[in-house]
Amino acid sequence: MAYVPKRLFIGRCIRCGAPLYMDDEAYTCNRHDDVVVLICTGCNRKLFGKCPVCGSSLIEITSGKL
pLDDT tens per residue across all 66 residues of the chain: 678 778 899 999 999 999 999 888 999 998 877 778 999 999 999 999 999 989 999 999 876 555
State the pLDDT at residue 30. 85
Q: Which long-range contacts (CB under 8 A, 24 or more apart) does 17-26 make?
A: 18/42, 18/43, 22/63, 22/66, 23/63, 25/60, 26/60, 26/61
Report the run of H or E that residue 43 belongs to, with start and end.
helix 41-46
d(C-alpha 30, C-alpha 9), whole Å = 20
Q: Could you give the CA distance from residue 8 to residue 40 in angstroms, rounded to a whole number? A: 15
